[in-house]
Structure 1
Amino acid sequence: MKKLFKKYYTDLFPGKLLFVGIGTCAVLFLFSFFLPALSAVPYLCFLVFIVLVLLDFILLYSGKKQVFLRRNLPDRLSNGDENQLSIDLENFYSFGIHLGIIDEIPFQFQKRDLLFNSDLNAGGKKTISYTLRPTKRGEYIFGQVRLYVQSPLRLIMRRFNFENEVTIPVYPSFLQLRKYELMAISNRLNEMGIKKVRRIGQSMEFDQVKNYVQGDDYRRLNWKATARKGELMVNSYVDEKAQHVYAIIDKSRVMKMPFNGLSLLDYAINASLVLANVALVKDDKAGLITISEEIGSVVPADRRPVQMGKIMEVLYKEKTRYLETNIEALTLTIRKVLKQRSLLIYFSNFESMSALQRQLPFLKEMAKFHLLLIVFFENTELKAMSEDAATNVEGIYIKTIAAKFVYEKKLMVRELAKHGILSILTPPEKLTVNVVNRYLAIKAQQKI
């Protein structure tokens, strides 16, 4: 008896029409009290109602195989991107059914209303697609999928439980990485907002002597080869290869600030991943250093096929720390690990000039031996406040203070330039495009 109760009762729930039927019977019983001639009608209606409920129960439990459901999850999710998920459904009942589907998605998404309603004909199939956008790296636990089925009578509904609990890791934005990789391979980065930079002079790395074709630079004509072959020949050059490009990520408390759900650290991680991949496509060597109150991870620059996997795994595990950056330890590590001139792209954030001044002596020391590019962030909310029209005295104060902070960020750019240090002041959402643009510009101008 206990097994039967567990099998049937715990998976049965009332439908909306069940309450309508109960309410109708109650009203008829009430009227029969005042009209004795109609006393048989409520009993007859109640009997019909009970028969219909039993018929609905039999319909829902008829057959050995009723419905099929499969949730399609990727092996991993991409942080900060819309990830596509889907649920496949198939109806084995001999009649059309109404479905209610609840997917127990991880608590990190904070969605309590992910309910899908659908109708499915007899023998029909359907796929329901939806997207999820994670904003933190780590492990996400998906629970079961609850499927509630109603027959055409819709008096009761039966619950089916599908899929076991599964854990899916959320990695740095590999969807964004693939998008930029395809554009870089096909030389279509301009479609992503990457500017085409006019090359100054020419690369010093000789490639080959080839036949002249229309559009080749006539200044590269090789007159000796032309005389030997009796046709125009030109020297071909390629970008200098195997230059070292390091992304240095500050993971101290200044990178905890959120924008559109993502922390500044996650924006920096996603941009570093794309930068490393573009550098490898351009035949340079990509490396990584993370820093907080102590040195975190160090991935020496390389261009072997496994390099992107190493960088991805390191970035997946990085978390924000809550102490101040030990810039001195970073300087010593760079002197120890980096044996040749490299491009150092340092992702950090400075909210005041005094914060920059504390690190400036060490930044100048790094810039003596390497090409240093500092990347820090605009506070877009303060910038919006400084541009809004003030309507009262309080608004004037707020606008003035916001404008002061915005102006101080611009002063930081000038201060860095005064000491020969390159910089990018960027909104978080444009970080990847701006960093890749600057890397390609530096490479085209042969500054490394």
Structure 2
Amino acid sequence: MTASKKLLMLASLFLPLALAADLYTPITVGLYVAATLFLLVVLLDAVRLWLTPRPQVTREIESNLAVQTWNPVTLKFVNESARHIKMMVFDLHGDGTQSQLLPQTLNLSANSQADVRYQLKATRRGNITLKNVDCLLESPWGLWSLRRSIRCESQVRVQPNYKDVFEFALLGDEQKLARMGNRQQRRRGEGTEFHQLREYQSGDPMRKIDWKASSRIGKLISKEFQDEQDQQLVFLLDTGRRMRHKDHNVEHMDQTLNSMLLLSHVAAKQGDAVGFMAFGNDHTWCPPRKHKGIVKHLLDHCYGLNAGLVMSDYLLAAQRLIELQKRRALVIILTNSRDEDRDDLEKAVLILRKRHLVVVADLYESFLGDMLKQDPENFEQSLQVLTTENFMRQRQEMHSSLNGLGAMCLDCTAEE
């Protein structure tokens, strides 16, 4: 129990009265009486506060939250007593979260209920526990305050931000392709999966002509093929320390997971199987699966992945993936590498290329690109620009080397 500012101010009034009593003795008795009454009032107010019943509280929040997004939370308070309760409300949401609109002052009349609404943002993925709700009760006369903790535990799962995937799913096929920057093109004569029959066009190879259909119709009919649909896509996801780097206050790990989910949705719509393997801080294997609910399936396996402080071992990850993934697949390595990783990354690509197609999506920090765009104004800035140019040149040399080994490299920021 803590004394309020009001109590301290009232108590301070007795100090000049006590000094006056030394100078004018007749007021001493009256001062003693006033002090006694004041103490009785203070004690009575404290007892009434101590006997104030705790209100009941329930928390309403979604069981699944997207990381780095604001989500509404409602605290429902019920006062079943015959007393008026005035309090300040805090919700103990713990580490890895941020809140807005807290604390709030709440007045609960006798036998009534009221709601407290605020916004919550989770800054890390995984399981979080929202524990007790703290209430700072105010005494009826405002002389004391008492902290009461009300048990109200909620389990929440924080997942990657799948907003882009949801919005993408609502678009039409042509809009989807345009938004992704893709252009679907029929490559006549290529692919091995039969698509349809059509009239012969100049330039069609003889082996593509369907002679039976041509004899029935009386004109040349060609078979049209398309790229195989039942392919396998495997993401090799780096969860090492460099994936902790942030752009615009968002970790590379979070942005990478968002991109992985969006690409998985696109691949699933094309009839391909999608899976991933994490290496570095976490070692998780999710075999490729082919079904419409692939995004939810991947979410269930990757929402708890977080980049740690360990160095990622590309060679060990490649050896493990070769053992786990027997069928030929497109392997996309999602990482943030440095020149010192070149030897291990090249060895990993050589191992994977024996069976799979390999794409290396190598991320870099957006401030590096911004640094190269600015004109240096002094020696220090000139040195920073030269250092950045040297760093980017080393990356280009490493990517050229990986291209020579048969891998395709994407040099991009996490946001891209």
Aligned to 2:184, the other structure's residue is in SS state coil
Q: Structure 2 matches for 1:120-131, cutoff 5 A?
A: 120=107, 122=109, 123-131=112-120
Instruction: Classify 1:138/1:307 alpha carbon distance in 2 versus 1 (closer, same or farther; 3 Å).
Output: same
**Aligned pair 1:272/2:260, yes or no?**
yes
Provide the C-alpha distance between the structure 2 equivalents of 1:208 and 1:29, rounded to a whole number of angstroms. Answer: 108
SS at match of 1:194: helix
Please say if residues 145 and 163 of structure 1, whose CA atoms lie closer than 8 Å, have aligned partners that are also in contact: yes
- In structure 2, the partner of 1:29 is 18
Kept in 2, the 8 Å contact 1:289–1:299? The answer is yes
Any residues of structure 2 matched to 1:142-221 within 5 Å, and which? 142-151=130-139, 153-163=141-151, 168=155, 170-173=157-160, 176-177=161-162, 179-187=164-172, 194-201=179-186, 206=195
What's the C-alpha RMSD, in Å, of the aligned pairs? 4.3
User: Judging changes above 3 Å, is the alpha-carbon distance between structure 1 residues 149 and 317 closer, same or farther for their aligned structure 2 residues?
Assistant: closer
Structure 2 partner of 1:119: 106
SS in 1 for 2:162: helix
Equivalent of residue 372 in structure 1, options 355, 358, 364: 358
In 2, Cα distance between the equivalents of 1:282 and 1:46?
84
Which SS does the other structure have where 1:199 is aligned?
Answer: coil
Per-residue CA deviations over 1:186-240 (Å, capped at 9, x if unaligned) read 438969993353322269664899xxxxxxxxxxxxxx9xxx9xxxxxx999996
CA distance, structure 1, for counterparts of residue 178 and residue 92 of structure 2: 38
Task: Report the alpha carbon displacement of residue 37 of structure 1 after superposing the two structures with TM.
Answer: 4.9
383, 399, 409: which is aligned to 1:423? 409
Match of 2:298 among 294, 297, 311: 311
Which of 377, 381, 384 is equivalent to 1:395? 381
Please report the TM-score for the alignment, with normalisation by the length of structure 2: 0.74
* Secondary structure at 1:198 match in 2: coil
In the other structure, the counterpart of 1:242 is 230
Give the letter for the 2:385 counterpart. K
For 1:370 and 1:269, how far apart are their aligned partners in 2? 22
Give the 3-state SS of the residue equivalent to 2:263 in structure 1: helix
Correspondence for 2:94 among 81, 106, 109: 106
| 1:389–1:347 CA distance, 2 compared to 1 (3 A) | same
More helix by share: 1
370-379 vs 195-204, which deviates more? 195-204
Provide the C-alpha distance between the structure 2 equivalents of 1:345 and 1:389, rounded to a whole number of angstroms. 36
Q: Are 1:298 and 2:297 matched, yes or no? A: no
- CA spacing shift, 1:32–1:193, aligned 2, 3 Å: farther
Matched letter for residue 12 of structure 2: G
Q: Is the 8 A contact 2:239 2:312 kept in 1?
A: no
Listed as ranges, the gaps of 5+ residues in structure 2 are 199-212, 218-222
1:87 and 2:75 equivalent?
yes
Equivalent AA in structure 2 for residue 117 of structure 1: Q
Please give the alpha-carbon distance, in whole angstroms, between the structure 2 residues aligned to 1:52 and 1:410: 79
Deviations 1:405-428 (A, max 9, x none): 234334545555566533332322
Paired residue type of 2:365: N
Partner secondary structure for residue 271 of structure 2: coil
Label 1:189 to 1:363 Cα distance change in 2 as closer, same or farther (>3 A).
Answer: farther
Match of 1:346 in 2: 333
Any idea what the Cα deviations from partners look like across 1:98-145, whole Å, max 9, x if unmatched?
A: 32223333244599x99513132523512221213232x445444422
Kindly provide the amino acid, as one letter, of the partner of residue 186 in structure 2.
G
Between the aligned partners of 2:44 and 2:178, the Cα distance in structure 1 is 62
Aligned to 1:288: 276
Q: CA separation in 1, counterparts of 2:75 and 2:227?
A: 48
What is the aligned partner in structure 2 of residue 217 from structure 1? none
Q: Counterparts of 2:270 and 2:102 in 1: how far apart (Å)? A: 46
> Could you list the runs of 5+ residues in structure 1 that have no partner in the other structure?
1-11, 210-223, 229-234, 435-448
Counterpart-to-counterpart distance in 2, 1:94 and 1:287:
59
Q: How many Å separate the matches in 2 of 1:208 and 1:393?
A: 68
Provide the rounded CA distance (Å) in 2 between the counterparts of 1:39 and 1:328.
87
TM normalised by structure 1 equals 0.69
1:247 to partner: Cα distance:
1.0
Shift of 1:257: 4.0
Q: Which secondary structure state, in structure 1, belongs to the residue aligned with residue 141 of structure 2?
A: coil
C-alpha contact (below 8 Å) 2:194/2:224 kept by paired residues = no
Superimposed CA distance per residue, residues 79-101 of structure 1 (whole angstroms, 9 cap, x where no aligned partner)? 44444433222445667643222
Q: 1:15 aligned to 2:4?
A: yes
In structure 1, what is the Cα distance between the partners aligned to 2:311 and 2:407?
Answer: 25
Superposition map of 1:253-268 within 5 A = 253-259=241-247, 263-268=251-256
C-alpha distance in 2 between matches for 1:359 and 1:206: 39
**CA–CA separation in structure 2 for the residues paired with 1:392 and 1:196:** 40
Q: How many residues align?
A: 387
The question of whether the paired residues in 2 share the 8 Å contact of 1:292 and 1:325 is answered with yes
How far did 1:69 drift? 2.1
Residue 70 of structure 1, aligned match among 58, 61, 64:
58
What SS class does the counterpart of residue 327 from structure 2 fall into? coil
Tell me, yes or no, if the aligned pair for 1:25 and 1:45 is still in contact at 8 Å: no
Deviation at 1:390, TM superposition (A): 4.1
- Output the CA distance in 2 between the equivalents of 1:308 and 1:199: 23
The alpha-carbon deviation at position 303 of structure 1 amounts to 1.6
Specify the alignment match of 1:408 in structure 2: 394
**Letter of the structure 1 residue corresponding to residue 287 of structure 2:** P
